[in-house]
Amino acid sequence: MKDNLHHELIQALKKAQDDSVLGYRLEDWRVTVSRAQIITLGIKNNAGGSVYTPPAFKNSEHADVYLVWQDGKCSKAKVQKPFAGAKYDWNRELKFWRMAAFEDPYSKTIPYPAKLPEVRIASDEIKTMIESGNRFIFDQQGKILSNRPQGAQTGANIMALWGRNSVFTSTGINVTYNESRYAVSWSFDSQIARGYAKRRMITESEWQELWDESISRYEVIKNQAEPVHKKTVVILAPSVVEQMAEQYILSNFNGENIVQGQSKFTQEDFIQNKKVFHEGISMEIDPLRPYQWTSYLLTSEGIPALYTALVLNGVLCSPILNAKYGLRWGILPTAIPYGAAGIRMRQNNQIPWTDMLKGIDDGILVLSVLGLHTQNPVSGSFSLAVPSGLRIKNGHFVGKADIRINGSYWDILNSPDTACGISELDNCPYLLTPCLCENL
Amino acid sequence: MNSERIRQIVKDLTRKYPEDYLIVRAQARREINIKLNNGKIESVSTGNESGMGIQAFTVNGASGFSSANSIEEGTAGELAEKAIALAVENERIGCELNTQIFSLLPNQDEIPNYAKYDFDRFSPEELQEKMMQIHRQLEEIHLENASIAWQTSYRQVEDFWCIGRTDGTLVSFFIPRAVLIHQGTVRQGDLGQSFSIHRSGMDVGILLEEEEDRGLQKLAEDKAIFIQKVCTSDQISLGSYPLLIDYGLAKGLAHEAFGHAVESDLAEESVLSQHGKLRKGLEISGCGVNITDGSYPGDWAYQPYSANGQKRETVVIVQDGILKQGLGDVFSAEKAGMEMTGACRAEYYGSVPLPRMTNIRLMTDTRIPLPKSKGLEDELRNMRTVLKSQGLLQKDYHFVLIGYRGGQVNIKTGDFVFQCDGAVNIADPTLKTYKPGIFSGKILSVLQSVRSSIGDERYDAIGTCGKAGQLVPSSGGGSGYILLEKNEGIRLGGSENER
C-alpha cells in the first residue's frame, strides 16, 4: 500500500475543473479508493492447503472514478496502478472518459461532507495476523482437520482481509478509514455446512458452538428418517432464509428495479405504505452494528451509514436507494445492504430457536436447497429440491429425508402461521413456514 | 495493451527463481459496459485492469499463491517471494503434496486475437448511439393488456492471458468477448415475470449484425408474447412427463448433470466416480447419445490453453451412451483415473484454477429435421406435426421446456435441478402454456431417457458457471430440441397438492 495512485489522479481532476477536456470542464468528481490485503486458506477433499486451496496472499489497489461534466453528462471508470511502472497520461485518460460520458438527468449526486457515525469495522487483531505470518489461520485449518468427523469428506475455507479505503470528492469529502474481515466455513459430505463471517476474529466459544452444532447434525443426517407427511412443518435454516432474501428482497427492493418496472413493487406501493407482509414481520438494514460483516462507515458514494427500515410491521417503508435513485425518487439515499446478510428480518413475537425446536412435533429443517437462484424473483414462487433436510420428531432431530419444497416467498411472509426462531449464531432467523413439502 | 512486454515480464520471472517451480499468470483486460433502461442510458463504464498471480511449488510439491493487480518487474519479484514463502510454510505444517506439475513438458505458443473488429473500432460515443438505436427498436413491441419494461446491456471485453512456467513454458492468448442482452419484465395486473435473451460473439460485430437483421428484436417479441402467456398460465402438476428441451436447457442439462460430475478435482465425491476414480465404461444411456466439451474460437467460453499452460483438448465425455472421459487437469487427472485434458480455468489472475467446462454439447445420432419456422409458436406447431407424423407425440402431456434460467447440482447425491422460463404442452392442439416448474433428476438416470433431437443444432447458449465461487463464462447447447422419454427419475412441476 505504498503507492499513492489517487494523489496524482485527484490533482488531474482538480485541473480539469479549470481547464476543459475536449471542450468541457469537470463540474464535480468522486474518487473511491480501495486497497486490500487478503489471506486465504482452504481444505478440499480432506486435504489442507492442497494445490486447489493453497495459502494465498492477494494485494490490490484500485480506484473507482465518477465524473460530472459541465453539460451534465457523467463518466464512470475504474483505475489501477499503471502497467509495468509506466506513468498515467491523465490528460489522455480524461479525454477517453469524456468520450465515454453519457447523459443522465440524475447525475449530480456527489454528496457534501457530513458527520460520520461511529461504527467499529476494523479489528487490529486481524491486521496483526496478516502482517505477522498468518499463524492463526494455519492453526484453525489444523483444528478443522484434526477434529473433523471420521469418514466425512471435509471442505473448508478461511479468509482474512485488511483494507484501507478512501473517498474523495470535489465537494470536500476526504475520508480514509480501515476495515477488516474474517470468515471461516466448513462442510461435511457437502451436506452439513456452517460458517462465520464478521469484521473481527471468531472467539473460542463461537467456534465451539458452531462446531458442536455441525457435528451433532452430521451424526443425525447419517440416518434415514421417515418420509414427510401432509402435516409436516417446513422450517428454513438461516442460510436458506438469507439466500431467499438475496433472491427476492434485494432485487425487489432495489430502487432502480422499482423505478424501471422490474420489481414486484411499484413506487406507489411505497408511497402508500402498502401492507405486503403479515403485521408481525419487519425488515431493516442496520450497518451500524459493531463488527458485522455488512456494517460500514460510509458507502462508496460517500453517503454516511444510517439505519433504514424497509418493512415495518408488514408495511412497506423504504426501498433501497443509492444516490442516483434517491435523487430520482425525491428522497435521501438509504442504507445499502451490501449483500443479503445486510438485511435483517424480525418478527414481533419471535422466540429463541431452541424453544421453537422443542415445540415442533413433526417437521423438517431445510439446511440447503438446489436451484434457488433460478427462481422468478418477481412472482416469488419457488419449487426447490432439498439435498439436506433434517427430520424433526417431538422436538428432536431424527434423521435425513429427501424432499422438495414448493410455495411462494411472498405468501410465506404474509402468513400468520410463519414464525421466526432466533439464534445468536446466525444473522437471519430460522423460519417456520406454511410452505408445502413432498417426498422425492 | 502491450502483450509483448507482458510476455517478457512473465518469461523473466520464471527464469529468476530456478531453485523453485513457479506458474506465473498475467492477465490484462479492457472492457466497456453499456446499460439502458426503458429508453434511456442507465450507465456506461470503462475499465483497464491487469494483474499477476503466481503459484509456487516446493521441490516436494507443497504450493503457495500470491497475486496483485499490477504487472511490473518489482511487484512480480515480491509476489514470487511471497508465494514461495507460503509454499514453504504450507509444507512445514504438513499440507497435501502434489508433484504432478513437474511431469509436464514445456509448451510455447502465442495465439493472436481472432476478433474481426478491433476493440476500439467504435468510440464509446458511437457505441452508445448504436445501443440506443437497438434498444429503441424494442419500443415497437406491444402486448395486449400487459406492459413490458426493457433493459438492454452490452459488454465488450478483451482479455489477454500469458502463462509461464519454470520449465520454459510460455503461452499467451487473447479472449475477445462481446454480448448483447435484452431483459424484459412482463407485467399483467399483479403478475409478472422477467426473461432475457442474448446475442454473443467476439466483438462489436454482434451489434452490426443486430442492426442488419434485427434478430434479437424478433426473438424479444416472440419471447415477450410467450412470457405474457406464462404469467397467466397454470402450474404444471408435479410429475414425470415426456419432454423436449431447447438448446439452452440441453446445455444446462449437460453442464449441471454431467460436466461437473466428471471434473477431476471432484472425483472423490462424484456419483460418476467410484473409490475416487471415474467410472469409465459405465453405461448411462442408450446408444446414440454423446456429450463433448471443448473450446472453440469465437465462442463465449473460448479458452485455448488451461490456466496452467496446457493445451485445452476437446473431450468426449459420453460416447454412444458410455462414460468415456473426464475433464482432467494436471493435478488430479491421474488420481481420478482420467487423462490430462488441460481443463483448468481461473476467473482472473488472482484465482487459483480448477478443472472447468468450456463449451459443452449434448448430441444425439438421431436427428429429426424441422421445417423452417417464422417464430416460436410456428416452431411449436411444426414440432407437434412432425412428432405426430413419426408416432412420437405422446398422449395428454408432451411438454416443451423453453428458456434456461440456470441450474445447480449436488455431485455427491447425484441430484441436479434446472429451471426454464415456461413450458408448452404440444400434446394439446391449442399448445397450452404452463408456468415453469423446476426440472429435477438424478445424474445416473436422466440420460437413459434421451432418444433423439429435433430441429437445428445450436451450441451458443451462454452462461456463467459459479463453481467454488469463481465466475467463468460457460456455453454449449444441443443437437436440436432434445427428446426425453417419460422417466420416473425426472420430475417436473410444482406441487402435488396443487393437482
pLDDT over 80 (residue A408): yes
Cα–Cα distance, B461 to B441 (Å, whole number): 21
* Strand B354-355 with B277-278, pairing: unpaired
Q: How far is A29 from chain B (nearest CA, A)?
A: 15
Question: Is A81 part of the contact surface with chain B (CB cutoff 8 Å)?
Answer: yes
Return the pLDDT at A360: 97
Task: Please name the residue of chain A whose CA is at the shortest distance from the CA of residue B409.
Answer: A370
Contact indicator for B403, B421 with CB cutoff of 8 Å: yes
Facing A376 at nearest CB: one of B65, B69, B193: B193
- A317-336 pLDDT, tens digit per residue, is 999 999 999 999 999 999 99
Return the pLDDT at B496: 44
Return the pLDDT at B1: 62
Residue entry with cell 423505478 = A259
Number of H helices, E strands in chain A: 12, 20
Q: What is the identity of the amino acid at B130?
A: K
- A262-316 pLDDT, tens digit per residue, is 899 999 999 999 999 999 999 999 999 999 999 999 999 999 999 999 999 999 9
Question: Is A138 part of the contact surface with chain B (CB cutoff 8 Å)?
Answer: yes
The dihedral region occupied by A337, where left means phi > 0, alpha psi between -120 and 50, and beta the remainder, is: alpha
Interchain CB distance below 8 Å, A77 and B46? yes
Q: Which of B495, B496, B498, B499 is the best residue to mutate to test the A interface, defined by the most A CB atoms within 10 Å of its own CB?
A: B495
Contact indicator for A420, A346 with CB cutoff of 8 Å: yes
Confidence of residue A4 (pLDDT cuts 50, 70, 90): low
pLDDT over 70 (residue A177): yes
Return the pLDDT at B90: 94
Cα–Cα distance, B223 to B186 (Å, whole number): 10
Interchain CB distance below 8 Å, B69 and A384? no
Q: What domains are there in chain B, each with its CATH number? A: 3-232 (3.30.2290.10), 243-498 (no CATH)
Handedness of CA B276, B281, B283, B285 (dihedral sign): positive
Exposed/middle/buried for A146, CB within 10 Å: 0-12, 13-18, 19+? Answer: exposed
Residue entry with cell 495512485 = A5
Cα–Cα distance, B416 to B408 (Å, whole number): 6
Q: Which of B29, B35, B44, B89 is the best residue to mutate to test the A interface, defined by the most A CB atoms within 10 Å of its own CB?
A: B44
Which residues, at least 6 apart from A254, have a Cβ–Cβ distance to it below 8 Å?
A263, A319, A320
- A54-81 pLDDT, tens digit per residue, is 999 999 999 999 999 999 999 999 998 7
Facing A83 at nearest CB: one of B2, B194, B406: B2
As given in the structure block, the three cell numbers for residue B228 are: 405474457
Interchain CB distance below 8 Å, A50 and B98? yes
Residues of chain B with pLDDT under 50: 496-499
Interchain CB distance below 8 Å, B408 and A406? no
3-state secondary structure of B249: helix
ipTM over 0.90? The verdict is yes
As given in the structure block, the three cell numbers for residue B325 are: 472421459
> What is the rounded (10 degree) CA torsion for A432, A433, A436, A440?
-40
pLDDT over 80 (residue A344): yes
Interchain CB distance below 8 Å, A102 and B191? no
Residue entry with cell 451490501 = A338
- Interior angle at CA B269, CA B265 and CA B270, nearest 5: 85
Interchain CB distance below 8 Å, A52 and B124? no
Number of H helices, E strands in chain B: 8, 27
Mean pLDDT score, A385-395: 92
Contact indicator for B369, B455 with CB cutoff of 8 Å: yes
Interchain CB distance below 8 Å, A102 and B66? no
**What is the end-to-end Cα distance of chain A in Å, rounded?**
54
Cβ within 8 Å of B, A 17-46? 44-45
Least Cα distance to A277 among A374, A408, A369 occurs for A408
3-state secondary structure of B174: strand
Average confidence score pLDDT of chain A: 93
- Angle between helix axes B205-213 and B215-231 (nearest 10 degrees) is 70
Q: How many C-beta atoms surround the C-beta of residue A57 within 10 A?
A: 21
**Could you tell me which residue, A135 or B380, shows the higher pLDDT?**
B380
Q: How far is A359 from chain B (nearest CA, A)?
A: 26
Q: How far is A83 from chain B (nearest CA, A)?
A: 6
Backbone angles phi, psi at A229, to 5 degrees: -120, 175
pLDDT over 80 (residue A82): no
Interchain CB distance below 8 Å, B123 and A44? no
| Chain-centre distance for alpha carbon B101 | 27
Question: Is A51 part of the contact surface with chain B (CB cutoff 8 Å)?
Answer: yes
Distances (CA, A) of B228 to A79, A235, A263, B135, B269: 43, 33, 16, 20, 42
Q: What is the identity of the amino acid at B435?
A: K
Q: What domains are there in chain A, each with its CATH number? A: 5-210 (3.30.2290.10), 223-244+349-439 (no CATH), 267-340 (no CATH)
Return the pLDDT at B418: 85
Least Cα distance to A6 among A135, A126, A227, A175 occurs for A175
Cβ-count burial B45-59 (b if 16+ within 10 Å, e if not)? bbbbbbbbbbbbbbe
Return the pLDDT at A1: 38
Question: Is A222 part of the contact surface with chain B (CB cutoff 8 Å)?
Answer: no
